Structure formats: structure tokens, C-alpha cells
Chain A
């Protein structure tokens, strides 16, 4: 009998303690809030509790971006990808063709006719960005936001539109460049 009432007493007191904590939280909810009101507030939020500026992040995992003008077609990113979501076609061009320089001064020797990234398959492991010798494939935002602003809202109605095609050469360009002009062949 004593036990019975003791149980009831314990239940009520422990419940009240819990309720007290909840009420305390109700009044200071604004301060320790971690929820984002999504469409109005967007991530990353610098004034978040942890107090970090997105510029100070080591990296932000988001959409992959390629500066195709800097790409030399070494295919290191393609080999590094564990799921095979990067596809590169690089064409050999005649020796004399000038494809220009990358921003770090490397001569480009291959014509990138295809550089597709399938973001439906990407698992954001970031492994493709480390081996790149020209730093031309990277995840947008964070420390890279000067090069490319953060982009994580790229939903589409059709899956095939999530395959991002970065190569900017047309079929005409390919035909023009890969078949070398006859004048140069005569010089050779």
C-alpha cells in the first residue's frame, strides 16, 4: 500500500520536474534555437550559435562545378570518383593548334568535347576535387564562393536535367579544330 502511493508520488514529482524543464525551455526558446525557417532563412547562416562565417569553412559540400576553361583533360577526377558520375571525353588535336592557357599557365593539349557530371549519382564525397592539378573542379560555396556562389537548390522535374554538361565546344568547333587546317600541314 505504501509502495503504491510512493509510486504515484514519484511519478508526479518526476513529471513535474520534466515539465519545469520544458517550461524553462519555452521561454528561452529563441536563444538556443537551431531550426531554420527554410524558405525565409537559408543555410548557411553566419550568426548561427556556433558562430562561424561560411567563408571560414574548410569546404562546403554542394553542387560540383567545373571551370571548363581551366580543364586540361587529365581525367584524374574521373578516375577518383567511386561511383563513376563524371564522364570526360578529351580529343587529341593536331600539334600546332593553340587551345590557350589555363589560369595557372598550363598549356592545354586536349580538347574537352564532353564533361558531364551526373548529380543524381554524386555522393558528395569530394574525392574528385583533391587530385585536380588546376583546381578547376570544386564544390560551390564556402571558401570557393568567390569563384562560384553556393548552389544547393537545383531540383528539377526531370532526372536527365540533373546531368550537368560543362563542355562548351560545339560540334562545329570539334570538326574545325580536330581536322587541322591544310595550310599548317603544308608547313609541316
Chain B
């Protein structure tokens, strides 16, 4: 799609050095550095040529223990009817990324869900709590190095069944 190239070019002019150019050319996504993410987010939401007014999906990804974590954003423009995927890599140890909760209000819960599952801290998020899991849950379940605990609050996991194994 042309839109990826377009966004990439516009960002390169506005925020030089922020787009990580891919090793081999592709049109699926844009990889960017996390530092100025919030300003970039504000920019692509309001820029008249881009107008990504809807934050569709925020996906946390663990690509394996060596490769590290990644956050992938899917944006969509209801006015110009185009969409884009933006990827931001974060380190495994103490991962953090600027929050865009104040840019798109829909990102609030989506970011909380990523935090819940991967432990990625969103800097500037005003209400960063666990979303789906209980508040006293330990660990980040969707990371590849997560080990299922044997006991949760005194309850045994998994349950032992009679007449089976």
C-alpha cells in the first residue's frame, strides 16, 4: 500500500531519524523509535493528510526470549479511510513506552490490557492497573518466560481430578 510509504516520508520530514528503515523493502508496517512516540501520535492524529482518528488495536507481542517485546498499533482513519500499522520495539528488562492514552481515549483500556499481559509500562498513563487479571496476580502471563504458578492464593493449580491420571 502507498499509505505506509507516505506516512513514513511525512514522519521522516517532521521527526528526522525516527523511522527505522527496514532491511528489505516491504509495505506492511512502519517501525519507529519509542522516544518521541507521543508527539508523533498527536501529529498523525491531527495532520490533515493522515488523520488517523481511530485507534483500532494495540497488540503486545513477545517474539521469543532472545528477540524481546514489541507493541504494535493499528490505526484507522474514518475520514480518509486508510489504515496503518506501527511497531515499536521495547526491551525485555524494565520495558516502558510513552502512553498515547491522552491522544486517543480508546487507547486507555487497550494499553492497560497490554500492561496486564506483558508488563510493559506506559509512561504517562493515568490509570495503569491490571485489566483482566486480578489485582494480586503475579507475573506477566503472555511473556514467553512466564511460568505457571503452582499455587494461587492457597488454591492449587491445576486441579487434581479423581479417576484421571
Contacts and interface: CB of A to CB of B under 8 A. Distances in A.
Interface string B122-165: 00000000000000000000000000000000000000011111
Interface residues on A, range: under 10
Q: Is the interface of A mostly helix, strand, loop or mixed?
A: strand
Contacts of A75: none
Contacts of B164: 87, 116, 118, 163
A116 B162 CA distance: 13
Name the prevailing secondary structure of the B interface residues: loop
Interface string A91-121: 0000000000000000000000000101000
Nearest to B162: A160
Contacts of A118: 161, 164
Contacts of B165: 87
A163 B162 CA distance: 10
Contacts of B161: 118, 159-160
Nearest to B165: A87
A112 to B, nearest CB: 17
Contacts of A163: 163-164
Interface string B95-126: 00000000000000000000000000000000
B26 to A, nearest CB: 34
12 contacts: A87-B164, A87-B165, A116-B164, A118-B161, A118-B164, A159-B161, A159-B162, A160-B161, A160-B162, A160-B163, A163-B163, A163-B164
A163 B165 CA distance: 12
Interface in A120-159: 159
Contacts of A116: 164
> Closest 3 A-B residue pairs measured CB to CB?
A160-B163, A160-B162, A163-B163
B72 to A, nearest CB: 26
Given A87-B165, A116-B164, A159-B162, 8 more contacts: A87-B164, A118-B161, A118-B164, A159-B161, A160-B162, A160-B163, A163-B163, A163-B164
A64 to B, nearest CB: 16
B148 to A, nearest CB: 15
A160 B164 CA distance: 8
A89 to B, nearest CB: 11
A186 B161 CA distance: 46
A18 to B, nearest CB: 38
A165 to B, nearest CB: 9
B159 to A, nearest CB: 11
